[in-house]
């Protein structure tokens, strides 16, 4: 029963009491009026002295991870609260569970909520809403606590032990086991100073410890940069959820990014679709966070094809770099630009991601033809079938014949 129901009942009682002059009806109308006023006063006191705080277990998570939300409710008022509903407003893909509870005067209550990251992206949590009222439910009160937070859900990352990055012998970031006369990004060790060694190669801390000059030795690298081409043109993408080509393509890209950066390689990202988005190669944890954040918010859309994107961005790639093309496209039009990359001394690989449902004979023939053209062009390719695990990418030969 809500307040207006009680008001209608009181009005009827009051009119009946005045018209009939029956004292019992008058007493009932006065009692109802008194009870309504008392419940209104009680409802005003339900939010006095209340405060709530929410703490995130982490500021980011990967798809499939479990996220912990910690809540702390404090009542600094001397009077206890009979019932409170605490919940959170957010754009989280699933409803965040709330809680209905009671709390005594000058007490604190804590609880945890575990939610699963079911979709990648950037999500807003908050405000936290508290609702209460009088024991009869005549009056409702609500308090909104502006405790907002952002939670970033990165793509799923899986180990890909069979994927290796080919490259030419350039000063870069992948170790070869060969000493270099030039300074590179990889320090192989230290040795005693010899006449002719550059002063900028002296390792002063080791020199102080050994009480004689020590210089750094550097190691030769295999490749300069790794460029990842991620095809987000909407025409070829199929499916929904984690089994869709969109999610599997992004999972492959995120897994390659993490492995390459852990091997101290420069990694850049180029996406097709709406337009050619370019994130320039870099290394380190800062680049990992930048690329993961970008991949977390990427969505399929647009009509710009992978072939157009490769042709447009080819001048950005220098000789000796490597390129990995990730696409669900069976259009042979992007094979020629891929072979142009290889002809430009850019080691090129491709990953073709299949839709979640097997295609018909025509799609199967197109796939075989595409893999054959890639093999002729000398582009190493891997086919990720609908039931294939990303972890097995490039297992064995990893060639077009697979």
Q: What is the DSSP letter of 181?
A: S
Contact 381, 371 (CB under 8 A): yes
Those residues whose C-beta lies under 8 Å from the C-beta of residue 191, and which sit 6 or more positions away, are 214, 215, 217
Residues 211-265 have pLDDT tens digits of 889 888 765 455 568 999 999 999 999 999 899 999 999 999 999 999 999 988 8
CA distances (Å), origin 301, targets 91, 232, 273, 291, 297? 22, 6, 6, 19, 12
Those residues whose C-beta lies under 8 Å from the C-beta of residue 183, and which sit 6 or more positions away, are 198, 200, 201, 216, 218
Q: Tokens 């984690």: give the residue.
A: 242
Q: What six digits make up the tokens of 1? A: 């029963």
pLDDT value for 10: 77
Dihedral (Cα; 371, 377, 378, 380), 10-degree rounding: -30
Integer Cα distance of 354 and 369 in angstroms: 15
pLDDT value for 167: 55
pLDDT value for 186: 54
Assign 3-class secondary structure to 9-70.
HHHHHHHHHHHHCCHHHHHHHHHHHHHHHHHHHHHHHCCCCEEEEEEECCCEEECCCEEEEE
Residues 288-307 have pLDDT tens digits of 999 999 999 999 999 999 99
Average pLDDT, rounded, for the chain: 86
pLDDT value for 237: 95
Give the H/E segment covering residue 102: strand 99-103
Query: Measuring CA to CA, which residue among 70, 79, 131, 76 is closest to residue 100?
Result: 131
Contact 63, 155 (CB under 8 A): yes
pLDDT value for 314: 93
Count CB-CB contacts under 10 A for residue 320. 20
Q: Within 13 Å of residue 238, how many CA atoms lie on the same side as its CB?
A: 12
Domains of the chain, first to last: 50-154 (2.60.40.10), 175-221 (no CATH), 225-392 (3.40.50.410)
Integer Cα distance of 41 and 27 in angstroms: 21
Integer Cα distance of 138 and 70 in angstroms: 32
Q: Tokens 């909520």: give the residue.
A: 113
Query: Measuring CA to CA, which residue among 326, 288, 330 is closest to residue 310?
Result: 326
Q: What is the DSSP letter of 289?
A: H
Which regions in the chain score pLDDT beneath 50? 1, 168-182, 220, 397-402
What string of DSSP letters covers 305-322? Answer: -HHHHHHHHGGGSPTT-E
Q: Report yes or no on whether pTM surpasses 0.85.
A: no
């Amino acid at each position: 029963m809500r307040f207006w129901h009680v008001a209608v009942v009181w009005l009827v009682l009051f009119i009946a009491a005045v018209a009939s002059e029956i004292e019992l009806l008058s007493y009932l109308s006065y009692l109802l009026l008194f009870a309504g006023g008392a419940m209104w006063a009680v409802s005003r006191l339900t939010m006095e002295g209340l405060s709530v705080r929410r703490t995130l277990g982490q500021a980011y998570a990967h798809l499939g991870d479990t996220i912990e939300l910690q809540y702390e409710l404090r009542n600094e008022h001397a009077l206890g609260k009979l019932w409170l509903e605490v919940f959170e407003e957010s754009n989280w893909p699933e409803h965040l569970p709330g809680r209905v509870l009671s709390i005594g005067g000058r007490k604190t209550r804590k609880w945890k909520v575990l939610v699963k990251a079911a979709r990648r992206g950037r999500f807003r949590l908050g405000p936290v809403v508290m609702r209460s009222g009088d024991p009869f439910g005549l009056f409702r009160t609500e308090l909104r606590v502006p405790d907002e937070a952002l939670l970033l859900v990165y793509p799923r990352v899986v180990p890909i032990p069979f994927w290796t990055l080919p490259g030419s012998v350039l000063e870069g970031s992948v170790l070869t086991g060969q000493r270099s006369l030039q300074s590179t990004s990889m320090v192989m060790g230290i040795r005693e100073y010899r006449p002719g060694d550059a002063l900028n190669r002296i390792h002063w801390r080791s020199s102080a410890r050994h009480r004689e000059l020590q210089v750094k030795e550097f190691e030769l690298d295999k490749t300069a940069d790794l460029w990842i081409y991620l095809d987000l043109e909407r025409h070829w993408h199929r499916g929904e959820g984690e089994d869709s080509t969109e999610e599997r393509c992004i999972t492959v890209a995120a897994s390659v990014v993490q492995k390459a950066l852990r091997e101290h390689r420069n990694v850049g990202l180029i996406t097709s679709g709406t337009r050619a988005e370019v994130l320039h190669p870099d290394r380190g944890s800062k680049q990992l966070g930048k690329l993961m954040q970008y991949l977390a918010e990427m969505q399929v859309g647009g009509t710009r094809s992978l072939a157009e994107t490769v042709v447009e961005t080819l001048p950005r790639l220098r000789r000796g770099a490597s390129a990995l093309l990730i696409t669900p496209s069976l259009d042979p039009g992007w094979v020629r630009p891929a072979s142009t990359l290889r002809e430009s001394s850019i080691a090129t690989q491709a990953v073709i991601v299949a839709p979640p449902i097997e295609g018909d004979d025509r799609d199967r023939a197109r796939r075989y033809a595409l893999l054959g053209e890639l093999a002729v062009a000398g582009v190493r390719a891997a086919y990720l079938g609908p039931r294939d695990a990303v972890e097995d990418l490039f297992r064995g030969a990893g060639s077009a014949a697979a």
